[in-house]
Chain A
């Protein structure tokens, strides 16, 4: 079979998310249901979910979700992991056999902690070490792919329609304080398991509807900092850009949003608040190569929150609604109404206007 990058398929996508500001945990059932009215936005070539707060009993450990092509790859990869990590749990990620999902790879889950001695000798903090290791596995070990690497969170993705992917991974058995979801309609490449959304690194995850015109410019810049775009699908570069801006550069979420969906110079010029104006000039100048052009709506998941963002021209749809402690985000209002028929304050954020929702301090 041709993999991503060898074939071009023209295409749309569906995204949805929910978060409890009180940190109340919800099963995956409702987000899976939410994808059903948006069925026609996907074509069955990829569906996936990210869930936060699902592994409280292992919250100190990185949860690594793997796809392996075969048993021997898994064995050799496990040997590699043992040299660098303490593995506290190693198991098959539970799935159910359903006719809608076929040709699955070996799907495995490890809960790990980096060995202190390894961290000390490499002089790296544990997040940097884990990020580097994930990059190494994904670029240097053919047949092994880490598709989730955060703490107390997990990604679940496959080739199929999202509502079937949810059933396949038994998402009704997980409870998280926030969930994101994606139905894929690949724009340029065929669907394969690794190419489904969300794309994650550490606890950062991205679901994306759109197509990045600036992909190569963004990729060339970000690869200078040790990130490797291996999946030949544009979305992964957003995950690395967010990791670079937030974790390595220390920007705030809204500053990062102003980099990737920077306002037009004319809009910056007309800002009255001079401090705000200068900040935007600074961000657009310093990080000009990280401006993402082309249509997008994304939901960015992180430990304790979500951020929704549209491209500055708003070439993709996105709607936000609320009810009690919950905030809902989706490509279509219909999806929000599935999760909460009585959702209030339904509104569509403007292009480039980030919607940031955080769980109350200490509630997750």
Chain B
């Protein structure tokens, strides 16, 4: 089923998607916010530019965007998958607590800000290109992977990655020479075991965007984790 989004406001568009069958295609999308918010049982393909907070509170649905996406994709998503074939704006995966986001291109500022995890809820954000500043700001759980596949010589991440990070992990496909991390995180070369833990994510990324997983995995990765088991300890008076 195809929904032409031209001249539909975000509410009407979401109503049309809700009323559609399991598989639907949205064409002529142009800035409609909150697309597929909270949806659980759909597979939605998007042509055009979806608005901010695409897949907010997503609860199991799959969203495939053929081009770029704007800010706050997957805001507080709980489950499901979002696949972006272009670049993604700022604050991707904002406070996501489950599900997966795969981006072929670059991410803007604050990707994975305040991601969190709890038991079986283990969110993952994979960025194929570069990430902007404040990657994983206040990250509390889950996995952020940046692959740097642009090959344009730019650093894989801009300034201040991991600011306020206190849980979860980041894996950057780079030696991260010259990249400054804050004092409360620990950065080291990823081991084979570390890479094994993300193999499934990389496989899925390669399936969507047609890359060779061995080539990607056969590279140097840096693992970033918070350096304390009790990151709040230093913030309070011990008494």
Mark out the residues of chain B between 125 and 164 whose CB falls within 8 Å of any chain A CB in the assembled complex: 132-134, 158-159
B70-90 to A contact mask, C-beta < 8 Å, 1/0: 110000000000000001011
Q: Is the CB of B109 within 8 A of A351?
A: yes
> Is there contact, CB below 8 Å, between A348 and B49?
no
A358: interface (CB < 8 Å): no
Inter-subunit contact B30/A334 (CB<8 Å) = yes
A interface, size bucket: 20 to 34
**CB of A175 within 8 A of chain B?**
no
| CB-contacts of A264-282 with B (<8 A) | 266-267, 270
Does A317 interact with chain B (Cβ within 8 Å)?
A: yes
The answer to whether B31 touches A348, judged by C-beta atoms less than 8 angstroms apart, is no
A350 touches B49 (CB 8 A): no
Complex CA–CA separation, A4 to B81 (angstroms): 45
A317 nearest in chain B by CB position: B71
Contact A334 B133 (CB under 8 A): no
Is there an interface contact between B133 and A314, defined as CB atoms closer than 8 Å? yes
Q: Would B68 and A346 count as touching, CB distance under 8 A?
A: yes
Known: A314-B133, A333-B68. A348 touches B159 (CB 8 A): no
B10, B31, B108 pick with most chain A CB within 10 angstroms: B31
Q: How many A-B contacts at CB < 8 Å in the complex?
A: 55
Q: Among B10, B33, B109, point to the contact of A314 (Cβ < 8 A).
A: B109
Interface of B is mostly: loop
**Alpha-carbon gap, A333 to B105, bound state (A):** 15
For residue A74, CB closer than 8 A to chain B, the reply is no
- Which listed residue (A38, A266, A337, A348) contacts B89, Cβ 8 A? A348
A40 contacts B33, C-beta separation under 8 Å: yes
Q: Are A348 and B51 in contact (CB under 8 A)?
A: no
Does residue B52 face the partner (Cβ distance < 8 Å to A)?
yes
A37 at the interface (CB under 8 A from B): yes
Report the minimal beta-carbon distance from A261 to chain B, rounded to whole angstroms.
13
Q: Which residues of A contact B90 (CB under 8 A)?
A: 314, 317, 348
Q: Given A314-B90, A317-B71, A346-B87, verify A335-B31 contact (CB < 8 Å).
A: yes
Q: How far is the CA of A37 from the CA of B132 in the complex (A)?
A: 25
CB-defined A-B contacts under 8 Å, sample of 5: A40-B33, A319-B89, A334-B70, A337-B49, A348-B89
- B contacts, CB < 8 Å to A: 9-10, 30-33, 48-49, 51-52, 68, 70-71, 87, 89-90, 108-109, 132-134, 158-159, 180
12 new A-B contacts at CB < 8 Å, known A38-B31, A270-B180, A314-B133? A39-B9, A40-B10, A266-B180, A313-B134, A314-B90, A314-B132, A317-B70, A332-B51, A333-B89, A334-B49, A337-B48, A338-B30
